[in-house]
Each structure stands twice: as structure tokens, then as C-alpha cells.
Amino acid sequence: MPLVNTIEMFKKAYEGGYAIGAFNVNNMEIVQGIVDACQANNSPVILQVSSSARKYARHPYLRAMVEVAAQESGLPIALHLDHGPDFATCKSCIDGGFTSVMIDGSHHDFETNIQVTKEVVEYAHKHGVTVEGELGQLAGVEDEVSVDADNASYTDPAQVQEFVERTGVDSLAIAIGTSHGAFKFKPGQKPQLRFDILEDVSRRLPGFPIVLHGASAVIPKYVAMVNQFGGQMPDAIGIPEEMLRKASSMAVCKINVDSDLRLALTASIRKHFAEHPDHFDPRQYLTDGRNAITEVVDYKIKSILGSENKA
Ligand code: G3H
Ligand code: 13P
Ligand code: ZN
């Protein structure tokens, strides 16, 4: 099957009350690990590439791997640019075979965000590519900003209708208290998400797909495994799974996960070397890494996203 854009998958997800997993890919084992789980569950999926992943693995390699994954699996797979910083990067991805792009203008003022997003939408739609915009700003992992203390970063529901109408975006990422990385809440802090904002946004945008970034659960099993085998991760706290399940059943149609995959891959490779200190064939430890990715994605599809048998 050729790569698809997100229109059909989001329409079905919205109507069916489930979400599509959007997983960051950086190499072959990650692509295969994710798609193996999707195939076993007959689940659609979004494979997304950040600017730094594009720099690391190089655009043509990532595109080719994801295209082969779609052909081989027969699943609906979208190749998506994650956090596109500007028009030039989005254009390069659209011209280079991506079927979906995010233009992240969330750090701009409202008017500038509308202008940069609109420019990308006009170009993308001419090429059958869907566009995700963002309103409101997530805390970054290095910001050390306490999520609930930083009210300014939440999406203002009063702005969403105007943003969507004037830009023509196909989906909208909003900030309701999630954040990127493995340290989403401080130790002892009760994880909270602003579901009231999500509800308000979806009331103002009926039927419109919402995107949740920074949605790794930071699965305790893998944090513990990293530390059991020589790592030194301080207390890492992610988004509670019941909150992700709730979001999936609401207007959230795309749930972004990167950190959980990084942790599973790293934990399994650390374990591999602890148990086999003599190994030096990458295929041996990367097999464990790939299997760990499959395990995480399988779990997410069944327990959080609800996207099994929706391909
Ligand atoms: O949202 C950010 C993603 O986790 C991608 O991170 O830029 O290190 O590839 P990266
Ligand atoms: P996590 O760091 O929670 O995995 O979020 C990833 C993400 O939002 C990619 O855009
Ligand atoms: Zn993100």
C-alpha cells in the first residue's frame, strides 16, 4: 500500500473514539519494531521524523524505509514531519515524499503563527499533504518548567476556531499539561492534565482531530531496567495511562510517543550487554532493542490507543 495522508485515519479515529499512535523513527530497527506491532494488531500508524532525526538518519533513508514498511505491511501508514520549524523544511519534506507535516509555529505570536501555518497549508494541500498546526506551548525537557506552574503555556480555547479557520490546518496540537521527554512532572507532584481545556476546544471544533504531544507514559518497567543495568536516571514521571486512554476516547486522534521508545531500546540494550558482556555483533543487541520497541507499541495499541483492527 502506498503511504497515506492523515485525513481518512483521523476521520475514522474521531468517529470510533480511538487514537492513532504517532511514533518517532530514527533508524531501521525502530521502524521495523513499530510496524511489526502494528501488523500483529492490524493497526494504522503514523511514523514521524523530527528535523534532528532527518539530519541523523538522512531524509532518503527514512523515506525509503517507511515506504517499504507500508508496501510490505499493507497497513495505512503516514510519513509525518514532527515539529517542522519553518516553511522551507516543510516544503522539502512535502517535495520529498512525506504525506503529512507539522508546522510548529507555537513559539510565535498568534498572528505570525497563523501566517506561517497558512503558507505551509497552501503548499501542502496542493500536493495532497495534510498539515498539523500547534497552539499553546509545551514545556521542553530542558526547560525545567513545572508544567502546572506554567499556565501561560496552555492552549487558549478562545483562539482555536479562528486559528483553524484562517490557516486551514487538518489537525491541531494543543497544550493541556503534557511535555516532551521523560521528566514530565516533579517527584511527588500529582500528574494532572487540563481535560477542561480539551473539552472546551472540542466543543468549539466539532469533529476536528486534536493532537497530543509529549504523551509518553514513561513506562516504569523500562526506567527501572535502565537503572538496574548501570543507568543513572533520576525519578522519571510520565503521563498516567488512564489519562491517555481518556484522551484517546475524546477528540484526540493522534498521540505522540518518542521517549517511551528511547527508554525501551536503551533498557534492552543495557540488559543485553549486562547478560552478554562478550557480545559485539550489533545484530544481537539490536534484535533485543527491536523486540522491546515492538512490545511497547503492542501494549500502547491495546491498552491506550484502541487502534487494533482499525487498518
Ligand atoms: O518532540 C520531540 C521528539 O521527541 C523528537 O526529538 O528532536 O531529539 O529527534 P528529537
Ligand atoms: P514524548 O517525549 O513524551 O515521547 O513526546 C514525543 C513527541 O511529542 C514528539 O513530537
Ligand atoms: Zn512533540
**Residue 2 included in any domain:** no
Q: What does DSSP say about strands 45-50 and 20-24: parallel, antiparallel, or unpaired? A: parallel
How far apart are alpha carbons 153 and 141 in whole angstroms? 14
94 C-alpha to center of ligand 3: Å?
19
* pLDDT exceeds 90 at position 207: yes
78 by DSSP, 3-state: which?
Answer: strand
Among candidates 215, 73, 46, which has minimal Cα distance to 130?
46
**Residue at 239: amino acid letter:** I
Domain that holds residue 69: 7-305
**Residue 83 included in any domain:** yes
DSSP 96-111: TT-SEEEE--TTS-HH
| Residue 69 CB partners (closer than 8 Å, separation 6+) | 31, 32, 35, 47, 77
Q: How confident is the model at residue 186 (pLDDT cuts 50, 70, 90)?
A: confident
Instruction: Look at the chain and report how many structural domains it folds into.
Output: 1
How far apart are alpha carbons 254 and 273 in whole angstroms? 35
**Residue 91 included in any domain:** yes
Answer whether 180 contacts ligand 1 (Cβ < 6 A).
Answer: yes
**Residue 159 included in any domain:** yes
Cell numbers at residue 169, please? 490546518
Q: Which residues are catalytic?
A: 82
How far apart are alpha carbons 147 and 203 in whole angstroms? 24
Ligand 2, closest atom to CA 180?
Answer: 2
**Residue at 270: amino acid letter:** R
47 C-alpha to center of ligand 2: Å?
12
Residues lining ion ligand 3 (Cβ < 5 A) are: 213
**Residue 216 included in any domain:** yes
Most informative mutation of 52, 89, 211 for ligand 1 (most atoms within 8 A of CB): 52
CATH of residue 26's domain is 3.20.20.70
How far apart are alpha carbons 248 and 193 in whole angstroms? 13
166 C-alpha to center of ligand 3: Å?
23
Site of grid cell 486512554: 245
Per-residue pLDDT reduced to its tens digit, 87-139: 999 999 999 999 999 999 999 999 999 999 999 999 999 999 999 999 998 87
**Residue 311 included in any domain:** no
What per-residue confidence (pLDDT) applies to 153? 83
What per-residue confidence (pLDDT) applies to 151? 46
* Total residues found in the chain within this entry: 311
What per-residue confidence (pLDDT) applies to 138? 87
* pLDDT exceeds 80 at position 140: no
**Residue 67 included in any domain:** yes
Residue nearest to atom 3 of ligand 2 (CA): 214
Among candidates 129, 171, 173, which has minimal Cα distance to 5?
129
